[in-house]
Structure 1
Amino acid sequence: MISTTPVRLSFGDVLRLGLLGVSTRKTRAALSALGISIGIATMIVVTGIPASTQAGLTRELSALGTNMLRAEPVPNRDSPVLVPEGAERKAAAIGPVLSSAAVANAHSVVRRSDRVSPTDGSGLTVLASTANLLDTVNGKVHSGKFLDTATEDFPTVVLGFKAASRLGFAEITPGHAPQVMIGQTWFTVIGVLEPMPLAPDLERSVLIGWDVARAELGFDGHPTVVYVKSREDALEDVRAVLPATLYPQLPGLVQVSRPSDALAAKRAAENSFSSLFLGLAGVALLVGGIGVANTMFISVLERRREIGLRRALGATRGHIRGQFLTEAVALSGLGGVAGTALGVLATIGYAAYRHLPPVIPLWTLGAGFGGAVVVGVLAGIHPSIRAARLTPTEALATV
């Protein structure tokens, strides 16, 4: 007796049938895969390029010092607050604090030469500074070098960017060490700083070593400003405990700057780019899905003869559905792989051209292939069901 039980195709058989349509129509398959690959590449590009741009913007904003706080006594002419010596070391003990430094007004006048009036300080401030100030405020040296353990005990000075301009020292030439007079002592200029937009007071300052300020200018050792660099996610928490850490007797007499507007701009940029990523990625996937669906509908119409012959030879509706659904997924998968590679290369090339750090969100790499497969399934469901509904007579009647 001949069995009439339908044959169950294995996964390998279904896969071979689905790939058969791809391999026998190479040009059409390539064009169909190109459509989905462009969509996936677009998704990666529109996420990778803004992410790289965001990373570059974040790097520039962070370089300004978005994670920096400034603590100083509340101005009080009658009874000025004296921040304890070594206050910056107490601030460094706060958990999220990355580094801390201090400066103090030396109450001295800097002059270009001893021929200038002793009262003419060009509007500049002489500050005693700890050696780690530059790292804490994210500053950079424009010319020369900053104070270190080898120079902070000697009469050497580093000029802020605007201070250098007013004193007439734009560059420090090797072998030629200019000097300025602070009080009645000559100090050798060893460095000029880059502009610091988030610390304009330092741009107009003349920085000298902590110990030499004590020895030459009668400095009492009490800081007037403490700079703190903290983790950005804990900046508000550090700001809350910093006054009590620096001056536990009366913390209300210490004021701490609020986080900079640059930090708010940085966070706003991150949120804006995140929303942009999702919207553009969705549009790219939708375009690719429409292309695959259109290709599969045309394939069903053009292959009615094949469908009719297979149905007449005993193929079930499930076999037909599986064949066309597998073909749709295969087309989308190939397009996803090609689109992912194309999008990654385009993003890296753009980042290199714009001198940006190349950033490709990891989720987009998985979405490049996984999203293509999902789109292929959704795009192939209706065409595969439509093909399976054709009876042998209906399919062959159109031949």
Structure 2
Amino acid sequence: MSDGMDAFMPPHRANQSSSSTTSSSTATATMTSGSEDLDPVVARSREVLEMATVGDLLRVTAEAADGSGRDRADEDETRDALRWFVVKRVGMSTGGRQLVEGELEGKKAQILDQGGANQARIGISGALLDERTPLTRLKNVRDADKFKRAIKSYERRVERESDALTLVSSVDKALTLNGLEQAVKKNPRFWTEGDGAHSRRVIKDPTESATKMTGELLALKHGHRDVVLMQIVCDWTDALEDSVRAPFAAATLEDMLTQDASISMRLSEARYQVGEDKDGNPEFSNGITAVIYRETAKETANVLVSMGVQATRNIAGAFQQALVGVALGYTDENIAHHIRRLHNEDKLTDEDIFALIITARDEKEALNAK
């Protein structure tokens, strides 16, 4: 919902006009200082890394270090990829180069300035979450054993991923966690009402998409919604914007569950048949989603868990979709848009759809009244 973001001039958009000016001036200064062979983009990236502070979200354009230009899915198309790096520590390497440590899309990572005319490089050191994460020991994580199994699956998936996109083409500061939180507090609609026809754009703002998950968590933290879904792990390709891999998401979740006893988490599991093997045996895809909720919405959360709801996969059935939308606090118009889009061939009338939504709201109210 872009009007929610536009209403307060989010930090990443405020930075866009200034960053281009800074880039130009930096390049000029670099070229006139005697480093005539230094690429202006490398100079700009170096400046951003030198000025990075803890809590910054860096927007990194990366290419394959081996020259293949292929992304993690090993697609045939050669291109750069936009990646998201959260700064957690700033220091120097043993060789005296700028070293920024943090997280990159669910992985522990670092960006190292290689000096001279060389592009900076990303180093990956493993999964961001593991069995030792404090999240597995919190009392308000209701399915602790299930969560530990999910984290193990998450670790294995990270270990299996080949990550060749580690050569930094460019880097800019997108926003800060504090800036995002202030935006949510000022105007939470973008993170609470769901997507509708009016919020669909041909080109989505990448920073909005990348921080959507954390924005929803912050909306829950500040009392603007009661339930949030977050994908922990799955066998299908999941969107960063609805995943624990999203920038700031894991740390924000841990902070909320540690600091606020009224917020709890359960795990929702689902299994889908996706085909058959060569012998005709069924093949399945599995997913585990965190249902984060306020205790006042406990019964609603339990229903979502019983349904096997997943953050990055639509549940089947128009009424079930209405119930999920209502449980997540979305507007009737946006829920109807979602159902209409998924059931385009079922010829559901607007009256049919809104009747389902009304029934879902009645069911939710009855659950929360228990």
For Structure 1 versus Structure 2, the TM-score category normalised by the shorter chain is under 0.3
Higher Rg of the two aligned structures: 1
Q: TM-score, normalised by structure 1?
A: 0.21
- Larger relative CO (CA 8 A, sep 6+): 1 or 2? 1
Higher strand share: 2
